[in-house]
Structure 1
């Protein structure tokens, strides 16, 4: 065999991208987690749907959809809890989805979380693949799927939506798409308080890039 043919064959043996496999792995892990949750809930005499869509933060978001902001609740330990701690992007999406489909806001929230968690997995794969290679990207997506708190990815919570927006904003930064990165960071800031960190990252990257341009010029 001519030596010139060996690199081409070796390269051909490695998939160009493991993205389809990583997304399939992510979906399989999430489905397994949901099945496990359903079995556990059934054994406890609970509804898996209520556990995912009608608990804790989910109820606060639904209240915002139905009544707007300005609701407080005094906890048993004396703390005063306010709905202003729950940022508006997810309630806006739940309200819009409810108007379009007739589904209950919390069920729209479940759909948003499911789609956003998959979008986040895709962005995580792209970022890790660009920086560390395809195999590292596969493991990064697997970690996103099996995090100890990964159950929130299947709940009507804002974590998946925030992660998707933050990850795609960072991906846009890597490709120097500053406007897209800024818009996604702003949306992340409407999702959770930690969105401020994403906004600062975008501003920091933009400033660093501008300084580099000045030096080269």
Structure 2
């Protein structure tokens, strides 16, 4: 494949077919992680779905989606935790999901994160494929899937959304699509 063909690979109709092994591998690794989480949760009498959608940062994002910014918690030691520290695009997309569907904010966050994780995997593939070929693209995606902290890719957190935007912004830079790169980088910020 010559350089021009490689540059166009992620935007051609066959691009999804080219990325399919990476995306299927990613989905299999993440599904295995979710099965392990479900078994672990069941053994401890907990809900795996609650761990993914209604714990830690997920609660902050849901609160922003539902009530907007301006919430803070004062801890006994005087520290202040504010929801202003949280990435705005995820709660906006959670709100959009609840507007156009019967999903709750937590469910919307889970769906957004799931779709964003697949977009991120594809973006990582596109960058590595562009630079080093298809095999490197598949390996890069699988390495991202098996990260020890990879479970956050399945949670209603902003990591997958940010990674998708950053990966596609980098791909746009590498292929000389400067406006798209700027827009994607702006959304990532």
Structure 1 residue 125 and structure 2 residue 87: aligned?
Answer: no
- Give the structure 2 partner of residue 33 of structure 1: 33
- Give the structure 1 partner of residue 60 of structure 2: 60
The runs of 5 or more residues in structure 1 that have no matched partner are 1-15, 190-217
The farther-off stretch of 128-137 and 169-178 is 128-137
3-state SS in 1 of match to 2:81: strand
3-state SS in 1 of match to 2:157: coil
**Number of equivalenced pairs:** 174
Tell me the distance in 2 between the aligned counterparts of 1:155 and 1:78. 29
- Mapping of residues 1-16 of structure 1, within 5 Å: none
Structure 1 residue 187 and structure 2 residue 176: aligned?
Answer: no
The runs of 5 or more residues in structure 2 that have no matched partner are 1-14
Tell me the distance in 2 between the aligned counterparts of 1:169 and 1:116. 14
Tell me the distance in 1 between the aligned counterparts of 2:158 and 2:94. 11
3-state SS in 1 of match to 2:46: coil
The farther-off stretch of 126-135 and 89-98 is 126-135
Asked if 2 retains the 8 angstrom alpha-carbon contact of 1:106 and 1:156, the reply is yes
How far residue 87 of structure 1 moved from its aligned partner, in angstroms, is: 2.1
The farther-off stretch of 72-81 and 106-115 is 72-81
Per the normalisation by structure 2, the TM-score is: 0.88
Tell me the distance in 1 between the aligned counterparts of 2:151 and 2:99. 27
Larger radius of gyration: 1
- Give the structure 2 partner of residue 86 of structure 1: 86
Tell me the distance in 1 between the aligned counterparts of 2:78 and 2:145. 36
Q: 1:179 to 1:96 in 2, by over 3 A?
A: same
Q: Deviations over 1:164-210 (max 9, x none)?
A: 00000000111101101100011001xxxxxxxxxxxxxxxxxxxxx
Per the normalisation by structure 1, the TM-score is: 0.77
3-state SS in 2 of match to 1:73: strand
Q: Deviations over 1:48-103 (max 9, x none)?
A: 11100000111111111221111110235432100100121111100011011021
Asked if 2 retains the 8 angstrom alpha-carbon contact of 1:18 and 1:138, the reply is no
Structure with larger RCO (C-alpha < 8 A, sep 6+): 2
- Give the structure 2 partner of residue 149 of structure 1: 149
Asked if 1 retains the 8 angstrom alpha-carbon contact of 2:62 and 2:109, the reply is no
How far residue 137 of structure 1 moved from its aligned partner, in angstroms, is: 1.3
